[in-house]
Amino acid sequence: MFGIGRKHKWPGFSKLNEECGELIQVIGKFMGSDGEINHWSGNLLDKLYEEMGDVQAAIWLVTDKCKLDHRRILTQATYKLKRFNYWFDNDTTVVSLNEKYECTCTFGNRGREDMCDECLKRGH
């Protein structure tokens, strides 16, 4: 059902899963070595480039072979990147969801690209 060939219902899922797992392993090695590049298993920066490329290739494969909407994926990626950049630029993470907040940007009616800074910060 999830293999890489044409006979499968969701071709490429198993490959995407495998490649994501390998990327997670490299990230874990970075975290476990306090960000040091030199690791007993090899150069982690080289491994990071390799696995990020492999994940990207698997995403493209699944998108193509499963006939997924490229524009919809790009729209989500653009929205998420905008949010991540906001958090990075403002040295912040998601504000507690327990705090009461009434948004006035009504991004739900206009599209995610029109989100106000408060919605970006809160991860809406």
Q: How do residues 1-52 score in pLDDT, each as one tens digit? A: 777 777 889 999 999 999 999 999 999 999 999 999 999 999 999 999 999 9
Please give the Cα distance from 63 to 70 (Å, whole number): 7
Q: How do residues 92-107 score in pLDDT, each as one tens digit? A: 765 544 455 566 665 5
Domain definitions of the chain by residue range: 1-68, 70-124
DSSP states along the chain: --SSSTTSSSTTHHHHHHHHHHHHHHHHHHHHTTT-SEETTEEHHHHHHHHHHHHHHHHHHHHHHTT--HHHHHHHHHHHHHHHHHHHHTT--PPPTTS----SS-HHHH-GGG--HHHHHHT-
Q: What is the pTM of this model?
A: 0.73
pLDDT score for 109: 46
Tell me the torsion sign for CA atoms 105, 109, 115, 121: positive
